Chains A and B, each alone.
Chain A
Amino acid sequence: MARVQRYPDGSRVPPWDRAVDLTKEPAPVPEPAVTPVPEDLRRTIEAYMSKYPDRRSAVIPSLAAAQRHYGWCSPEALDQVAAVMRLTPAYVESIATFYDMFETEPKPAHDVYVCTNISCSLLGADELFEHFIETLGDEGDFNIRAFECMGACDIGPMASVDGVYVGPLELDDVAAIANDVRDGRPVLSRKQLAHRAAADPGAAVPVPDPDTMAAGPPMPPERGRGEATSPEDEP
């Protein structure tokens, strides 16, 4: 685990005592007039806010939309979410730093979350993660993170590549994953969780061959990275 990015206290998450500039005034709710927000992002956030009795409930989906739009939760993105939602930037940042899937530092375009929790590590997830870092760590295209259990222990050791679960992975699969991502193909379609039949022998019904479904599972439509969902997509 030598190459995992770690903070001085040995943790993978920022320490709680990261220095704060106490001489600075706390930032107020950003003025909409001086905070330009891309139109589609604004419409998405407003659509999220309208779904809940309290607009603050939309802060997690809105941050996710901002992260899809900008690639990470940049200070500008946080400001824009705060401006549309009428919250202080500090509040929005407190949410962005709490949840694992929000990145407050710039990150490479493709997310590879490798599960290193108990069930997967019993089956060699730590070696797999090391191999991911060795093979793809210096490429600059892949945001490789050791992640906690992602709820797919039946396909362990597994990884989530841009949200697509694949497993059980062998060390050779790492290069294939990288090629699939670079060429824009569905990632490792033979090993995708979406095509996997239930293990329970009593529930056995033939499942279509993954090869005939190479274009990916029939539904739902894949969400493009880097574009915010338009509000029409959401109920």
Chain B
Amino acid sequence: MTKLLFANIDEPDLNTIDVYRRHGGYEALPKALKMSRDEVQAQLESSELRGRGGAGFSMGKKVSFLPHGAMDKYLVCNADESEPGAFKDRELIQKNPHQLIEGLIIGAYAADVNRSFIYIRGEYQYQADILDAAVKQAEAAGYLGERILGSDHTLSLVVHRGAGAYICGEETALLDSLEGKRGNPRLKPPFPANQGLYQGPTLVNNVETLSNVPHIIRMGAKAWAEHGVQNSTGTKVVSVSGCVRNPGNFEIELGIPTRDLIMGLAGGPREGCTIKFFFPGGSSSPVLTAEEGLDIPYDFDSMAKAGSMLGSGSIIVVDDTVPVVEVAKKVAKFYAHESCGKCSPCREGTNWTVKMLERVDTGEATPMDLDIIASVQDQIIGHCLCVLGDSMAMPIGSLVRKFRAEFEEHIERAREARGMGVTVPEPEPVGIAGADPDVGPY
């Protein structure tokens, strides 16, 4: 299978500029600089490259949304990869940082941007150090700075380290965090393309999206778009983790059967286990059972049609040894912990979902509580400032819907373990000190 992003990925010292150049690195940049900005933009648009961070929005279109003219515009690369199950950006930065930097320079040229930032999550210390070193090398080689390679394009690049907050992966929260504030999402519109970082027009792109840009320019949009399928062009780095034998990042052409990915590349489930369900696009995507999901192609549209999403392209496989209530609790607790607290449906909804799931687990719930859980998820979806609330509501809603029988069985078993059985014993009357039990408190 064709490797673009992962070509030579394990070559020692690929993270240095010399080895990267030996493999044809920084050849797309002079080619792009000889083209006009509009031509580069047209190449990006006609490649139909879709954003690899989760939303899947056309990158070329995003570039074209930025206003023209002389003003302070910014490009921010989102390397705050915090979605549970996603680890593709980590590998791309660690092993091939110059591919990202080259793509970022070309993207900045197309959008006519002079200042750029890479916001990398604070936990990726090793990767951020590599990125810092790579930026220094690129500056020394004249790929960054004033009048790049003799053109009229100028670009500065700052690597900004976060400090541990999932919400900062949301683009407007990321911009707030980069401005030195708490990472709270902003109300949209205005979208970052109009009013983003420091109130200036801002292009926000994921690491993998920008890493694809040099290949589009080098090969030409048409040749690049021959990879993949309609509406999901190109290759995609997919992170597969959980109950599989060979977890890791795999670069695939979009549109291959999901079965090849999970059973083939990732080695399938562990000895003696079968796959129960999987998250096709990180922990925030609605789950698909093995029967539903394994035989559909892995691309944006097929996943959406199956009722889930490709998201960031991170598959978490769960096998039949794991109780579904445990998975639901883990996912809900994560989102409750990471909710920034700015808007109520998310702040309250995530916390109540955790409390209800804990009641399910301990046997204090009844099957009716499952309906309440489902209705809470419906109240969250579409009612929040950003997608964090939805990110919990979608998987939890799908788990309760698809595994209702198992939830009910779990409740029943937990109730029996508490000695409550099927019939609920009469609750003890609540006594008030000094009150006559026959007369009552009033």
Interface residues of A (CB under 8 A from B): 11-13, 16, 51-54, 56-61, 63-64, 94-95, 98-102, 113, 117-119, 121-123, 147-154, 156, 160, 163-165, 193-194, 197-208, 217-221, 223, 235
Contacts and interface: CB of A to CB of B under 8 A. Distances in A.
B225 to A, nearest CB: 20
B126 A194 contact: yes
A235 B145 CA distance: 12
Given A102-B164, A163-B125, A220-B130, 7 more contacts: A57-B180, A95-B182, A118-B316, A154-B241, A201-B265, A203-B9, A223-B125
Which 10 A-B pairs give the minimum distances between C-beta atoms? A199-B248, A153-B241, A100-B164, A56-B180, A99-B163, A220-B129, A101-B164, A149-B84, A163-B125, A205-B10
B334 A149 contact: yes
23 contacts: A16-B341, A54-B179, A57-B160, A60-B160, A60-B161, A60-B163, A61-B160, A64-B161, A117-B334, A118-B242, A118-B316, A119-B242, A121-B330, A122-B318, A149-B334, A152-B87, A163-B126, A197-B10, A198-B6, A203-B251, A206-B10, A220-B130, A223-B129
A205 B310 CA distance: 29
A51 B158 contact: yes
A164 B122 contact: no
A57 B181 CA distance: 8
Interface stretch (B133-141, B295-303, B368-376, B383-391): B133-141
B9 A154 contact: no
B126 to A, nearest CB: 6
Contact of A59 (B89, B180, B198): B180
Interface residues of B, number: 80
B193 to A, nearest CB: 19
Contact of A98 (B12, B122, B165): B165
Contacts of A118: 84-85, 242, 283, 316, 327, 330-331, 334
Interface in B34-88: 72, 81-87
Nearest to B136: A235
Contact of B3 (A57, A95, A202): A202
A128 B259 CA distance: 31
B90 A202 contact: no
B84 A200 contact: no
Given A61-B160, A219-B133, A119 B182 contact: no
Contacts of A156: 241, 247
A153 B179 contact: no
Contact of B90 (A16, A147, A152): A152
B162 A200 contact: no
A16 B348 CA distance: 13
B289 interface: no
Contacts of A165: 126
Given A121-B330, A201-B265, A148 B122 contact: no
B166 A199 contact: no
A122 B243 contact: yes
A164 B248 CA distance: 18
Contacts of B209: none
B91 A198 contact: yes
Contacts of B135: 235
Contacts of B248: 154, 198-200
Contacts of B334: 117-118, 148-149
Interface string B1-45: 101001111111101100000000000000000000000000000
A218 B83 CA distance: 29
B331 A200 contact: no
Contacts of B178: 57
B48 to A, nearest CB: 24
A100 B338 CA distance: 10
Given A151-B90, A154-B249, A198-B249, A60 B180 contact: yes
Contacts of A122: 242-243, 316, 318, 322, 327
B137 to A, nearest CB: 11
The winner among A12, A113, A165, A218 for most chain B CB atoms within 10 A is: A165
Contact of A164 (B126, B130, B338): B126
A101 B115 contact: no
A165 B121 CA distance: 14
